[in-house]
Amino acid sequence: MRPSVALPQPQFASLLRGLLKGLPFSLLGALPPALAASPADGDVMQGFPPAVEMRVNKANAFLPPYLRWSMRHAREVSPTRNIPRAQTPLALAAGSALALDGLQFAAGDETLTLDGYLRETVTDGLIVLHRGAIVFERYDDGFEARQPHIWASMTKSVTGLLAAQFNAEGLLDPNARLAQYVPELAGTPFGEATVQQNLDMQVAVTYPEHVPPDLGLFAATGLIPRKPQMPADIYSFLRVAKVAQAASPQPLFFYQNGSPEALAWALRRISGQNWSQLVEARIWSRFAQDDAYVQVDELGTEMASGGISSNLRDTARFAELVRRELARDVPGDSFNQGVRSLLQAGDQELFASGNLAPGRPGYTYRNYWLQKNDGDGSLEASGRFGQKIYLNPRREVVIVKLSATPDQARRATSADGPAKVASRAIDSPVTFNNMVSAVLDALPH
């Protein structure tokens, strides 16, 4: 028996409807009244012209059946800025291909094959590198090798590496208040927290109920329509956040989008460059075969917490670059030292009390990366709708999964609020880790 593929209850859709209430119907487009009754995603944006009910717009882009198309076509949904490729891309050799589709592992109370897992989590592409060589690569449902795909919150891990470089160069003091670099953030939870507290999601913040940390930012960036009272850009989004009422001097862990956006503001202010220029010069120029892009708001401000799109192999190149840097120590190289800052231990007890803890026993968090603490030095980057990067320095392995997994769970608006995000067993970190373990067991030692 295979796990049920029924979609979660449409809480996300209900919240989205509430945020959009009062907008003209032409903006709302074809929001399906019952997601389970929606037509197949393969019909979306097909035909000349596409059928009215199959057209993607900002009101339906993150809902099934439109989600899968949107994950691959972000540039056609909202404005973006280019991130140019490297002059000399990081080479990926062709390794000895492994037949992994039949691998079996647990998903809750059931057992799945890798093939079944990828299909049921609506995976667009999966790639496995071993010692820098491609040993498995799969594209589903028409996803193409050179086609960009949304990273979602894996973008935070790029912002974290930029900040770590600035720290290594003495441009950022991790113990300084962030408002020291961005005076406009004085009095906000982000500005009053230190640079490192922002990097490690240790900020006691509350968002207004009508500006949740996910949809509120989506609206501010222009990914979804917004009501008049909602922030019109990312800088305004940051200024509506308040210090959580129950905030105490004791540290906490609360994962949300404001901290990386606030930190990106500081990086721009310090350098005099926009975020995408920094990404190109300091990171992308080291590995990328193809251009990437990032979503921007009406002021041209990049969404530094979730806006990158790149193709599958370039995502793997990024992870492989990080893996290789972890294996060497070059004190005078700020990029190398920034990457190696991910080896510094996070706070396990703090993480266990936070809103990313379910399904991740023993994990910690550092500079917008998840630390597995598995004895291998493994790290993860994770994004909504099923985006995953896994890298294992000891085993010399990289796994990347790009997906369009429906995720309608409502996010907590406050560090004081509920800490758990519900998900199906098949979508959980536990099942992803079971898949990773099965792949590792199949690789030569």
- Whole-structure pTM value: 0.91
Q: What is the pLDDT of residue 124?
A: 98
Q: Which of 379, 313, 274 has its CA nearest to residue 85?
A: 313
Task: Read off the tokens for 135.
Answer: 């040993």
Cα(5)–Cα(63) distance, integer angstroms: 16
3-class state of residue 372 by DSSP = coil
**Structure tokens of 255?**
């994962």
Burial of 243 (0-12, 13-18, 19+ CB in 10 A): middle
Angle among Cα 110, 113, 116 to the nearest 5 degrees reads 90
| Nearest-angstrom CA–CA distance, 211 and 240 | 8
| Distance from the Cα of residue 278 to its chain's centroid | 19
Q: Residue 276: which H helix or E strand, with range?
A: helix 275-282
pLDDT at 333: 98
> 41-69: string of b/e by CB count within 10 Å (b at 16+)?
beebbeeeeeeeebbbbbbbbbbbbbbbb
Span(s) in the chain for CATH 3.40.710.10: 123-442
pLDDT at 134: 98
Place of tokens 């990024």: 318
pLDDT tens sequence across 90-121: 999 999 999 999 999 999 999 999 999 999 99
Query: Contact, 260 vs 156, CB < 8 A?
Result: yes
pLDDT at 13: 55
Write down the CATH superfamily of domain 123-442: DD-peptidase/beta-lactamase superfamily (3.40.710.10)
Q: What residue type is 400 in one-letter code?
A: V
CB crowding 148-164: b at 16 or more within 10 Å, else e: bbbbbbbbbbbbbbbbb
DSSP assignment of 90-154, as one string?
Answer: PP-EE------TT-EEEETTEEEEHHHHHHHTTEEEEEEEETTEEEEEEE-TT--TT--EE-GGG
**CA 362 – CA 428 distance, rounded (Å):** 15
Spatial strand order of the sheet with 379-383 comes to: 93-94, 133-139, 123-130, 397-403, 387-392, 379-383, 369-371, 364-366
| Number of Cβ within a 10 Å radius of residue 3 | 19
pLDDT at residue number 18: 56
Give the CB-side neighbour count of residue 60, counting CA atoms within 13 A: 25
DSSP secondary structure code for residue 169 in this structure: T
Tens-place pLDDT, residues 360-369? 999 999 999 9
Q: What is the pLDDT of residue 247?
A: 57
Please give the backbone phi and psi of residue 310, each rounded to the nearest 5 degrees, phi first: -150, 170
Low-confidence ranges of the chain (pLDDT < 70): 1-40, 246-249, 416-423
* Spatial separation of the C-alpha atoms in residues 127 and 97, rounded to whole Å: 11
Q: 363: which residues sit within 8 A by CB, 6+ positions away?
A: 348, 351, 356, 357, 370, 371, 372, 373
DSSP 187-235: TSHHHHSBHHHHHTT---EE--TTS-TTHHHHHHHTSS---TTS-SSHH
What SS3 class is residue 317?
A: helix
- 């790029």: which residue's tokens? 158
